[in-house]
Amino acid sequence: MHTHGTSQLDIRLSNEDQERTLKEGKAEPHRFVHHQAGWVIFRIGLEKDIENAKELIRLAYDNAEKMMAAHISRRAQESS
């Protein structure tokens, strides 16, 4: 995840979360090729948008945590 100024977040989600948030209109597709990797754009225009931003950040964090756990598990299996 990263920001562009104070009003745009680029957030990487799982493909399932990306599809759902785009369908629900909670985010916009990322420009360029990054949309294929789960990236979305979220724009903060009003104070009420902050709660939606927090939800997307939580989804991104949960996805990253799952990916890291799977990576650690694979490395442990390779070491045995």
Q: pLDDT (tens digit, 9 = 90+) per residue, 17-72?
A: 999 999 999 999 988 666 678 899 999 999 889 999 999 999 999 999 998 998 99
pTM of the full structure: 0.79
Per-residue b or e along 6-35, where b marks 16 or more CB atoms closer than 10 Å to that residue's CB: eeebbbbbbeebbeebbeeebbeebeeeee
Helix (H) or strand (E) holding 66, with range, is helix 49-79
Instruction: Provide the residue range defining the domain that includes 17.
Output: 2-79
How far is residue 59's CA from residue 17's CA, in Å, rounded to a whole number? 7
**pLDDT value of residue 2:** 87
